[in-house]
Structure formats: C-alpha cells, structure tokens
A = this chain, B = another copy of it.
Amino acid sequence: MSASAGLIENQRIVLAAKPQGMPSESDFALVRGPVPHPGAGDVVVRCLWLSVDPYMRGLIDGVYPYVKQVLIGDTMRGGGVGRVVASNDPEFGVGDLVEGYLGWQLYSVLPGSELRQVNPALGPPSTAVGVLGMPGMTAYFGMTEIGEPKAGQTVVVSAAAGAVGSAAGQIARIRGCRVVGIAGSAEKVRHVVEDLGFDACIDYRAEPDLLAALRRHCPERINVYFDNVGGSIYDAVTSWMALDARIVICGSISEYNAQGLELGPRRLKQFEMWRARQQGFRVRDYAARYPEGIAVMAQWLTEGRLRYRETVSQGLASAPSAFIGLLQGRNVGKQLVKLAQDTSRVSRDDALGTTRRTPCKSEDVS
C-alpha cells in the first residue's frame, strides 16, 4: 500500500449544528485536514460520487435504533462510490471500484469488510449508489418481498419521481400491475408517465382532493402502496385500500423535519375491514441478497425495461444544498454529488454501449 495517505489533504463536511426542522446550509461546515493513515485491513478510497438520501435526516436525529447518530463535529455519513487508492486488505486492489458508507468527504479510510466490490460492466459507477445500489435494492426487495404485487393489481407509489419510487413503480409494471405514481410537480408527473411508463401519476401539490384523484385513477381500489412519504398522502391512500392490501413503509420524508408529533386519522378499522398489512422495511436486512437483486435489476436495465434519471450536484461543498433540495423535493430521480472525474480507463462511462443501460437524460442542477 501507499504510505503517502497522510500527506494527501482531505476535505470533509461535518455537522456544525443540529437542525431544528428543515436543515439549512449553516448546519454544515467544510473541514480540511490530512487523510488518516490506514490501519490493518483498512482501504483508502477516493470518492467519485456521493449519494444523498432521505434517511440521512434520521441519522442526525438519531432515530434508528441500529445505526449511530451523527453528532456535531462528525463527518456526515452516507453512501458513496469510489476508487481504491491504497489498500491493506488483500480483497481490494488499487483501482478497484467500490461502494460503501464513504461519508461526505473526498477520501475515505475504512475497513475493507465494510466495502462492496462494484462490477463496472453492469452500469456506470454512479448506479452503484442508485438503481444498482441501496435505492434500487430498497425498491426491489421492498416491492417484491413486502409489497408482493400480483399481475393485474393496482399499485400506488409515492415520491414516484425519486430514486426509490421510480424503480419501485417500474418493478411493479414489469410484474404486470397497473401503477399509479404520486409526485410533487408537473415536470415530475410528466417524467413518471412519459419516461418511466407509469400508467398514471397524480401531482399531489396541484390536486385539491387526493382521495378523489386516487378513486379516479384506481377504480378497483389499491392493492399495494409503496410509501416513501407518510403524512397526509398515507392518510388518503389507506382510506382506499383493497382487500388484502399491502402497505410498504419504506420512508416518511414528509415527517422527517416535523417538530413534534404529526397527527393523522388512525386507520385501524380500515386495516381490520380490509385485512390489510402494513410493514416497515429496512434494506440492510437484505444485504446478503444484494447480488441477486443487482443481477435482476442489471438485466432489466440491459433489456431497456428499467430506466433511471440522476440529478447531479457538483463538488463536495454542494452536498448540504443537495441534501436540503432532496428534503424539499427539488430533485428528479437519484440525487448525487459528483466529487471527481473518474479517470480509470476500465470503467469510464462511455466504455459502456448504450444498449447496456437506459438512463433517461441526466440533469445537472448545480
């Protein structure tokens, strides 16, 4: 391994203040310092793409019983994909493309056991934190294992233009379902229907009566609801459930910045009447089955049956605003932060034939 890691300057985004409600950019700070020397078994990774995801809001509040809270002064945690630049783990060689919880920083030093080798033949590197990574696996296992959609059934997906929702809806389409999205702008609605092939999509911000819209678009009620948002959208969907409805509780972004309890009607009578099932879901529990999920999703990408879109923010310093934009619903598709040009010859994006993947157009918001 290279002994020079300590000489390279790192840049990190740390939590500077605990947000009350919606975070602001001043809650984060950029810090410079040397890349730490790797210990035994450690790998040094140069980060290429950072993933920005809703669950990070929960990390700051420490809501997950099984994950360490991000405290003031800590580097923001989050998934990323990068290149190995030094390795004390024989499983990883310099130049390998890897994915893991790299954090919001230019270089990451962490045990090889916490990294996953990425097969660059399956898709561009960014897909390792997108449709072929955590969000894609969330959609795949959440929809197939918890949602259990059956051909001919009606599936509703909220945050349908987001990284998880867009994949979840397409998976249900591939399974032969009628899929209705819910999204928050005319452009998202257009994207979901025209680019992703959903049967319909409701703009919840423009729709005065969401329940009426659901009744219109789902005349036979709703068999599966893949819930990424919670809140009043959950309330509307759960009052229009079909018999044996499955409610996949994947996230509740509408409530992540709530200060205090958000109240809604209890739907217990509806759950009893319609024999409905609601189930919380954590993708980490499917870690051992990622290879299976990635293989299936990569095949669908190759066949052009699965599409995705990325919103790319440029540079580490843009990560806080990208994160806030995500929580406000400004992104379409997967929100990424691009940290560095990937100069490895092996996996340059343009080495992949266009038949190997079918991204929608990529959009750069920075």
Question: What's the nearest-Cβ distance from chain B to residue A52, in Å?
Answer: 19
Which of B255, B265, B273 has a CB less than 8 Å from the CB of A261? Answer: B265
Question: What's the nearest-Cβ distance from chain B to residue A71, in Å?
Answer: 19
A281 interface residue per 8 A CB criterion: yes
Please report which residues of chain A, range 102-143, place their CB below 8 angstroms from some CB of chain B when the two chains form the complex.
none
A15 interface residue per 8 A CB criterion: no
Using A262-B265, A263-B263 as known contacts, say yes or no to A277 and B277 having CB atoms under 8 A apart: yes
* Most central of A265, A266, A271, A273 by chain B CB within 10 Å: A266
Binding site for B on A (CB under 8 A): 58, 63-65, 227, 230-231, 234, 243, 249-252, 255-256, 261-266, 268-282, 285
Q: Using Cβ atoms and an 8 Å threshold, which residues of chain B touch A270?
A: 280
Which of B250, B268, B278 has a CB less than 8 Å from the CB of A234? Answer: B268
* Most central of A58, A252, A270, A272 by chain B CB within 10 Å: A272
Q: 14 extra interchain contacts, Cβ-Cβ under 8 A, other than A63-B273, A278-B279?
A: A65-B274, A230-B269, A234-B266, A234-B268, A249-B271, A250-B272, A252-B269, A255-B268, A262-B266, A263-B264, A264-B266, A271-B280, A275-B280, A277-B279
Would you call the interface of chain A mostly helix, strand, loop, or mixed? mixed
Q: Using Cβ atoms and an 8 Å threshold, which residues of chain B touch A274?
A: 65, 280
Closest partner residue, chain B, to A277 (CB atom)? B279
Closest partner residue, chain B, to A239 (CB atom)? B261
Closest partner residue, chain B, to A275 (CB atom)? B280
Q: Using Cβ atoms and an 8 Å threshold, which residues of chain B touch A256?
A: 269
Bound CA–CA A58/B276 (angstroms): 17
Which of B65, B231, B273, B280 has a CB less than 8 Å from the CB of A280? Answer: B273
Which of B65, B264, B269 has a CB less than 8 Å from the CB of A63? Answer: B269
Q: Using Cβ atoms and an 8 Å threshold, which residues of chain B touch A278?
A: 271, 277-279
Bound CA–CA A269/B61 (angstroms): 12
Are A227 and B268 closer than 8 Å at their CB atoms? Answer: yes
Are B281 and A272 closer than 8 Å at their CB atoms? Answer: yes
Closest partner residue, chain B, to A276 (CB atom)? B280
Are A266 and B64 closer than 8 Å at their CB atoms? Answer: no
Are B282 and A272 closer than 8 Å at their CB atoms? Answer: yes
Are B63 and A268 closer than 8 Å at their CB atoms? Answer: no
Question: What's the nearest-Cβ distance from chain B to residue A168, in Å?
Answer: 15
Q: List 26 A-B contacts (CB under 8 A).
A: A65-B243, A65-B273, A65-B274, A230-B266, A230-B268, A234-B266, A249-B268, A249-B271, A249-B272, A252-B272, A255-B269, A261-B265, A262-B266, A263-B265, A264-B265, A271-B278, A272-B280, A272-B281, A273-B282, A275-B281, A275-B282, A277-B277, A277-B278, A277-B279, A277-B280, A278-B279
